[in-house]
Amino acid sequence: MHGLLVAAIICALVSGPEKIIPRPASYRTGEKTFVYDGKVKEVKASRSFARQVDKLGIPDFARDEAYALEVTPKGVTINALTDKGLFRGRTSLDMMLEYGDTLRCCSILDWPRFAHRGLLLDESRHFRGKDYILKELDQMSKLKMSVLHLHFTDGAGWRFQTEKYPLLATRGGWRIGDTYKQWEYYGYNFGCEGDGYSYGGYFTKDDLREIVKYASERYITVVPEIEMPGHSIEVVKTYPETACLAPDGSRVMNHSVCPGSEATFELFQAVIDEVVDIFPGKYIHIGGDECNKSAWRNCPACRRRMEEKGIKDVNGLQSYLVQRMERYVNSKGRSIIGWDEILEGGLAPNATVMSWRGTAGGKQAVAMDHDVIMVPTSRCYLDYYQDAPVFEPEAIGSAYLPCERVYSYDPGRDFSEQDIHHVLGLQGNLWCEFIPTVAKAEYMLYPRAFAIAEIGWSPQEVRDWKEFRPRAIDYIEVIKSHGYNAFDLSAEKGNRDEMYKRLDHLAKGRPLTFNKPYDKGYHGSWDVTLNDGLFGSWEFPDDRWLGFRDGVDVTIDLGEVKDLHYVGGSFWAHAPEAICPPEKVEVWLSDDGNDWHLAGYRIREIPDAAKDIMVVELTVPLVDKGRYVRFKALRRDLPECKLMFLDEVIVL
């Protein structure tokens, strides 16, 4: 074999710190190698390492996770202040060993940037159970993640066995409809455990104790979320005394519990009692997001509560519930986390805010001296499409969040140096409305969870997408060999090809008249959108897709009579969001703007719901002339079709 080739192969088989995810804060490598002999010298709390940590100015929260890992020709040594630090060091060693026993001699000095490096797993919308959670905890641990946010009580299923309110699990954990859409379709109903036709399940207390123990052995804290007062139809339907009253005295079976009813507090406080018994961590998440407060306005119990407490509106009523629950949780020695809606109506005094609707909630909470966890949808929602939506399994909405975009997030960038201590960290949220199986959950998680882990751990200045990407691709192969599913980042299609194009065509930049208006809520780049030579991306709706409520009808003045060969455009279609392509496009031509003739038309052949997301091109070939081009996109007025989106009217 050629000498260089041999050298290259040997080199490829030598592993080192450059393989580790998350990338260490600092490392140096040497020329020599060491063949791992299965032995590690672990040194806990040595004076010299403590001095090193002091000298580096590692923040207090990070000291117990800091470690130094030395690989020399004689062996491997790990230094740390605590068992947790030693564990993180061994984790780095294990990750290097995934690529072979021959290690490059190196010296790693490493500690986390943020304390909270988390994943939210949603076991409410689909229940996969304990073994899945244990499996993902294993992977989280390899990525040095520190928090599992267990979203296991939501409308679509209550997954927490409780003694005082057993029906929450035995009925509220068993819905009618295997899928989320079926459950919606059948009216958000529940059967009961063992009835043979309901879908569901729940964690027993023993399951949860095992999960907590397994996590803590890996230095991961489980944050349970007991969702209230919205996303709670499973509570309302199993214990109707927690529902609001309509003026006629009947119960309102919607998604929100009644903050006027004492029964609501009795139930949630009893649940908290059982929760603190199982979950030892500091935080209990109490939800607070997307609460429909409409029934509260007319409910006699809610109105009485507002009068008694001098509460002026329904936001104040939500705040009353959150603050009262906070006092209860605090009385148990724990603290609450809530979604950023808990800022509305008055923030609970000791609450940590999870900022999901962008970063504004996080900034507002920090300005009020509260801690925050950053989970903005545009960077951290792992239920979004990670590649070209038209080729991907169904995800949520039509949102596009490729791994690179996740990786580009820096939770520190919205905060000053004095305030950054309030940013506990970030997490990836895997909502599971459309994710029924373990395989699909893992496909959505990995490799984007690698990116979340690295953002949370590694200093911003050592992070670089170009360097991360091949490391992530290698690690995808590793986790696949351990039985995980993952998205194939090496075969990523990327953003829509057309969005990189600039097309000079006859209509570009010419005066364009809207005979029917576009929707100002979906304004793209306003009037120029349809003839700026630019095409829409997968980041729908971006500034290149223009939305219409009543079809498209535009006229373009080409300035003089021209030979015409082609008029057409591309339409975005997504049936679940009522975004439909036209059934027909027509091209009308005129030399003077008065006399028009129909030059051609095209009827769409693909049915509306052929695929959840499509980009439908409709073009009309012509052999004709004209100065004025009128382009119409038409469809029947159907309740399931509210919007039409077009990115460019191309005239050639």
299 binds, among Zn ion, ligand ACM, none (CB under 5 to 8 A by kind): Zn ion
505 is catalytic: no
What is the spatial distance between Cα 445 and Cα 109, in angstroms, rounded to a whole number?
A: 28
Under a CB-based contact definition with an 8 Å cutoff, are residues 641 and 595 in contact? no
Q: Is the dihedral of CA 479, 481, 484, 486 positive or negative?
A: positive
Instruction: Specify the residue, 24 or 229, whose C-beta has the smaller distance to Zn ion.
Output: 229
Q: How many CB atoms lie within 10 A of CB 247?
A: 8
Residues of span 38-77 touching Zn ion by CB under 5 A: none
289 binds, among Zn ion, ligand ACM, none (CB under 5 to 8 A by kind): ligand ACM
301 touches Zn ion by CB under 5 A: yes
Contact characters 586-615, ligand ACM, x per CB under 6 A: ------------------------------
Instruction: Specify the residue, 92 or 429, whose C-beta has the smaller distance to ligand ACM.
Output: 429
- Residue 651 identity (one-letter amino acid): V
290 touches ligand ACM by CB under 6 A: yes
How many residues contact ligand ACM, by CB under 6 A? 4
Residue 101 is encoded by which pair of tokens?
A: 């026993």
- Burial of 60 (C-beta count, 10 Å sphere; 0-12/13-18/19+): exposed
Shortest gap between Cβ of 289 and ligand ACM (angstroms)? 4
384 touches ligand ACM by CB under 6 A: no
What is the spatial distance between Cα 72 and Cα 103, in angstroms, rounded to a whole number?
A: 9
Residues of span 325-344 touching ligand ACM by CB under 6 A: 339
Under a CB-based contact definition with an 8 Å cutoff, are residues 473 and 489 in contact? yes
Q: Segment contacting Zn ion (CB under 5 A): 73-81, 142-150, 295-303, 618-626?
A: 295-303
- Residue 435 identity (one-letter amino acid): I
Under a CB-based contact definition with an 8 Å cutoff, are residues 230 and 224 in contact? no
CA of 59: how far to CAs of 52, 111, 420, 451, in Å? 13, 9, 12, 23
Shortest gap between Cβ of 490 and ligand ACM (angstroms)? 30
What is the spatial distance between Cα 652 and Cα 646, in angstroms, rounded to a whole number?
A: 17
What percent of the chain is helix, strand and coil (3-state, nearest 5)?
35, 25, 40
What is the spatial distance between Cα 149 and Cα 152, in angstroms, rounded to a whole number?
A: 9
Among 69, 147, 302, 589, binds Zn ion (CB under 5 A): 302
Catalytic residue among 154, 340, 387, 392: 154
Instruction: Specify the residue, 150 or 530, whose C-beta has the smaller distance to ligand ACM.
Output: 150
Shortest gap between Cβ of 261 and Zn ion (angstroms)? 6
Looking at the DSSP assignment, which residues form a beta bridge with residue 381?
Answer: 429
244 touches Zn ion by CB under 5 A: yes
Shortest gap between Cβ of 319 and ligand ACM (angstroms)? 17
151 is catalytic: no
317 touches Zn ion by CB under 5 A: no
Residues of span 251-270 touching Zn ion by CB under 5 A: 258, 260
301 binds, among ligand ACM, Zn ion, none (CB under 5 to 8 A by kind): Zn ion
How many residues contact Zn ion, by CB under 5 A? 6
163 is catalytic: no
Phi/psi of residue 51, nearest 5 degrees:
-65, -40
CA 235 centroid distance within chain? 25
Q: Segment contacting Zn ion (CB under 5 A): 112-120, 200-208, 292-300, 494-502?
A: 292-300
Among 99, 111, 356, 548, binds ligand ACM (CB under 6 A): 356
Q: Tell me which residue of 232, 229, 215, 227 sits closest to 118, measured CA to CA.
A: 215
Omega within 30 of 0 (cis) for the link into 582: no
Length of the chain: 652
Under a CB-based contact definition with an 8 Å cutoff, are residues 532 and 542 in contact? no
Q: Which helix (H) or strand (E) holds 195?
A: none
302 binds, among Zn ion, ligand ACM, none (CB under 5 to 8 A by kind): Zn ion
434 touches ligand ACM by CB under 6 A: no
522 touches ligand ACM by CB under 6 A: no
Catalytic residue among 18, 193, 210, 290: 290
What is the spatial distance between Cα 303 and Cα 308, in angstroms, rounded to a whole number?
A: 9
339 binds, among ligand ACM, Zn ion, none (CB under 5 to 8 A by kind): ligand ACM
Q: How many CB atoms lie within 10 A of CB 464?
A: 11
Catalytic residue among 151, 231, 255, 370: 231
Shortest gap between Cβ of 266 and Zn ion (angstroms)? 15
199 binds, among ligand ACM, Zn ion, none (CB under 5 to 8 A by kind): none
* Tokens 């509210």, residue located: 642
Instruction: Just list the catalytic residues.
Output: 154, 231, 290
Q: Which residues contact Zn ion (rule: CB under 5 A)?
A: 244, 258, 260, 299, 301-302
Q: Which residues contact ligand ACM (rule: CB under 6 A)?
A: 289-290, 339, 356
